A and B are shown apart, each in its own frame.
Chain A
Amino acid sequence: MTFASIIIQLLNGLAAAASLFLVSAGLSLIFGVTRIVNFAHGSLYMLGLYGAYSLIQALGRTPMGFWSAVVLAALAVGLVGVLIEVLVLRRIYRAPELFQLLATFAVVLVIKDIALFVWGAEDLVGPRAPGLSMAVEILGKRIPAYDLLLIAIGPVVLGVMWLLLTRTRWGALVRAATQDREMVGALGVDQARLFTSVFFVGSVLAGLGGALQIPREPANLELDLAIIADAFVITVVGGLGSIGGAFLAAIIIGVAKAFCIGIGTVTWFGFEISFSKLTLVVEFLIMAVVLVARPYGLLGKPQAVQRIAADLAPPLTAPSWKIALVWVVLLLGVPLVADRYITIMLTDIVCFALFAVSLHFIMGPAGMVSFGHAAYFGLGAYAAGLLFKRAGLPMEAALLLAPLCAGAFAVVYGWFCVRLSGVYLAMLTLAFAQISWSIVFQWDSVTGGSNGVFGIWPSAWLAGKTTYYYLALACCGTGIALLWRVLFSPFGAALRAGRDSPLRAEAIGIDLRGFQWAAFVLVGALAGLAGSVYAFSKGSISPSTISIGQSTDGLIMVLLGGVETLTGPVVGAAVYTWVRDAVARHTEFWRAVMGGIILLIVLLFPQGLVGGLKALFLRWKEQRA
């Protein structure tokens, strides 16, 4: 790269960072005050683009029309954010931690289908910014004038945010609530209004970030999920709740990407390395490095102990043997009466149930939320496929060895992860999952790249769908039983003690980090077993088994069923898989319907399905007594 190209790529990176910063700043603000992991933030960004597109059509392609459209779109998105807060989230602030994530996930589904309905499927290419459509020549190279404006907008917004947070009463309240929101409530501040206002500002920032992109990016339906992962990464790399940190992180990641592209393909010691392909994963690599070196992000501080609004998780009750036995008998009997497809569906459900139970083990009782649990599911699936296909092992051996491979990865990833806590830990698990995903996605000669591996079918004696269902039931059922048993062992008790009070647990001599590490390996191996069984039931695997989508599905299943119950994840896995299958078959706008169903469950059962039903049952028993 020449000096001129370095400067230009730097400017490109800074321009790309502008919108990333706006979106992340909004996300950071919302998370800081409400502790909500807002999945729908990317949807708000997408709405910003669509809104700006339509408003420019209506107001005309003049400078006046363009800029009013951008501002109006941002404000409109702010109102959408307020609607989401008032109609949905406000009702579930007291639900167990992370439950709100489920609600925002449902909102993502609904908004996506609404956007499809309103704006159609075709990409909408917006106009260039009137008056700024030309390029400026710098060092003999041309760069769009609009990009230079974006580079300036970032620091301006940062400045405005800083003034707002440090010089106004509202800012003081926001900062206070970020530190201790119960105290703010106790001092007589109307929390509901504060939260709503924070949601408004955060959503306006997302909308503005989107609207400002309209000259650079066509409005399309993939934007929501494309930006949300980046926004989370930037928020965490910068340090949660730190707007300045988000700014710094956005610049680092924007510039790093631009330079990866600028460097292109280089040859080192006879090896060709394509930095351009690295853009697939570079933000996650940066996040992994930052979190390992600085557990609270670049400018973040250790989180003050949060008095959570929800009560502590109640102690778990062991499932009764009798009820479990009834279920086993029922499940064994299904293929005798049901049609073939139900058996196939149940095989899927059984795999996902083990996947969800292993995730629940780590995020519930062990208190370590994982956003990247698909890593182990997917690596288990790939290990099974590769051992069978490339190493030529018999299917039975591959099936049983795969969990060990997944466990081996968990040994490495877990060692780093247990050193962190809270959302930082969750995001580090996501970083490892994404790094695994990108390697699998790129390593064509071994993993088949984006195509995946196919032709991995079970041995003849297991090939029948009913036989395979029994195999899946045996493998996954054993896995689930094992995990549940472990929870009530001294090891499980120690983990729960560590979640509820790390200080006391260590004081009585529990090697908490070691225990947590072991828990990581255990759930990694069992998620790997689920993946391995899944792979042979499908005959093929693709990188989507390690993707963010798969991790999210796991979270949805656990939260849907109820994170504070033992059987919740199983019920969640069954309901989610079954409803999605049924809804997708019968309705065109199935995503919106799915989102609506989840929202309904969220509002009716803030403890999850099993938690809610249990509470109903207890109340009924009390009334009878």
Chain B
Amino acid sequence: MLTRNNLLAGTAALVALSLFGPAGAQTPIKIGELNSYKVFPAFLEPYKKGIELAVEEVNAAGGALGRKIEIVSRDDNGNPGDAVRVAEELLSREQVSFLIGTFPSNVGLAVADFAKQRKVLFIAAEPLTDKIVWDAGNAYAFRLRTSTYMQTAMLIADAAKLKKKRWAIVYPNYEYGQSATAAFKKLLKEKQPDVEFVVEQAPPLGKIDAGAVAQALADAKPDAIFSSLFGADLAKFVREGQTRGLFKGVEVFNLLAGEPEYLDPLKEEAPEGWYVTGYPWSEIKTPEHTKFLTAYQNKFKDYPRLGSVVGYATVMSAVEVIKKAGSLDQDKLIAAMSGLKLMTPFGMVEYRAIDHQSTMGAYVGRIAVKDGKGYMKDWRFVDGKDALPSDAEVLKMRPKN
């Protein structure tokens, strides 16, 4: 007989079914993601799209351990204090299995230290600081992105080949610019002992007085310039330098300037001939990249930026480590993460057991302009593992656990 109680029970069962799905009453695996979305939107909007694409692909292929994947994202406000709080929230309230993400160096380092304290896996997506895997490395933190040191090292071969004596340096005055400069000076000096660094300018991030800086560099009469400016600072520097003739007869090396995030806004003023690291997305023809590019363009009707690749590869790393570990146990995850190999749009990468740095590479080339747009020409891909210091040096820097 159909009583009210029966009806209620039946409805409840139906609701339960629809909630948990027919495939097997499994809840999705939650992964906590935090980033400074509102502070660095130019990089992180494409990054977020990369994440969405990866989640869609993974879940269409059945997820991991027979469960779907869910990314729970939070805005950390670009501030380590807030970042630690949202990380706590992700772990204790959302019950995420582990953490991924972050952009600025100080936030990445704070979350890495927090991960060590809480004994949970953390895959740093974008922070470039060398310290996160070296001087301040710990057992729980891994990093995907090609670091400051690696990107600088990738440019050194070209820089040394030019045999320029007088170098000028300009960098944004914080961790990334400082360590890029330190690495560049050290590496170039090794290859070319007679090199001279004639002027060094360290404008505050986002507040460069480009005219005065360009003039100060020009006054030192350099043969070549090494810059790690990006974003609005880079655009201002390029324009002032061009108007003032700073770059005439001077070779310029600029980290990151080939990334669409920073190259595209320059449009027809993109500085021709500069040596840069970046992402020539339209010209990479490897099957893994073509697959990524097609899927991305189909989904978003837009081309990927470097941030998209980072977001995509971060989620893929998270999924692969779960599959390899076969469990969500932190010790097993950490063990699986060391030496984890996976395919990314930039080819195979490996999270090195020795320092937890991935071997993700980067593209090195020179800027050229076509149809009012900057692009990278004569580019080549440098595998990350060829841009890292020797194991002995790494072991010396990394604290023993």
Contacts and interface: CB of A to CB of B under 8 A. Distances in A.
Interface string B72-87: 0011011111001110
B265 A279 contact: no
B245 to A, nearest CB: 5
Interface stretch (B24-32, B172-180, B323-331, B341-349): B172-180
Interface residues of B, number: 67
3 cross-chain pairs, A with B, having the tightest CB-CB distances, nearest first: A121-B41, A450-B174, A540-B110
Contact of A584 (B77, B105, B174): B77
Interface string A449-468: 11110110100000001000
B92 A141 contact: no
Nearest to B199: A264
Given A5-B219, A344-B88, A143 B204 contact: no
B109 A454 contact: yes
12 contacts: A2-B219, A13-B212, A116-B41, A222-B232, A345-B85, A449-B174, A454-B136, A542-B81, A544-B79, A544-B81, A549-B79, A590-B38
B244 interface: yes
B212 A262 contact: yes
Nearest to A144: B243
Contacts of B93: 339-341
A401 interface: no
A125 B267 CA distance: 8
Contact of B80 (A8, A261, A542, A591): A542
Interface of A: 1-2, 5, 8-9, 12-13, 15-16, 116, 121-125, 128, 133-135, 141-144, 147, 215-218, 220-222, 226, 257-258, 261-262, 264-265, 274, 276-277, 279-280, 339-341, 344-345, 348, 441, 444, 449-452, 454-455, 457, 465, 534, 538-545, 549, 581, 584-585, 590-591
Interface string B24-67: 00000000000000100110110000000000000000000000
Contact of A258 (B89, B209, B232, B269): B209
A457 B119 CA distance: 14
A183 B136 CA distance: 64
A121 B93 CA distance: 31
A603 B301 CA distance: 42
Contact of A144 (B42, B113, B240, B264): B240
B203 A122 contact: no
B110 A452 contact: yes
B306 to A, nearest CB: 13
A135 B105 contact: no
Contacts of B199: 264-265
B160 interface: no
A128 B244 CA distance: 14
Contacts of B211: 12, 15-16, 143-144, 147, 216, 258
Interface in B163-219: 173-175, 178, 199-204, 206-207, 209-213, 215-216, 218-219
B90 to A, nearest CB: 9
Interface in B307-338: none
Contacts of A135: 243-245
Contacts, number: 207
Given A9-B216, A218-B265, A340-B88, 11 more contacts: A125-B269, A135-B243, A135-B244, A142-B245, A218-B235, A264-B220, A341-B89, A450-B178, A451-B105, A538-B110, A585-B75
Contact of A123 (B113, B114, B231): B231
A543 B205 CA distance: 14
A147 B243 CA distance: 11
Contact of B244 (A143, A220, A265): A143
A1 B114 contact: no
Contacts of A584: 74-75, 77
A123 B105 contact: no
B114 A540 contact: yes
Contact of A451 (B44, B175, B266): B175
Contact of B204 (A279, A449, A544): A279
B356 interface: no
B30 to A, nearest CB: 14
A596 to B, nearest CB: 16
B68 interface: no
B113 A142 contact: no
Contacts of B212: 9, 12-13, 16, 257-258, 261-262
A450 B105 contact: yes
B338 to A, nearest CB: 22
B203 A279 contact: yes
Given A226-B206, A451-B131, A542-B80, A261 B243 contact: no
Contacts of A276: 200-203, 216
B201 A123 contact: no
A451 B265 contact: no
B266 A133 contact: no
Given A123-B265, A218-B265, A544-B81, A451 B106 contact: yes
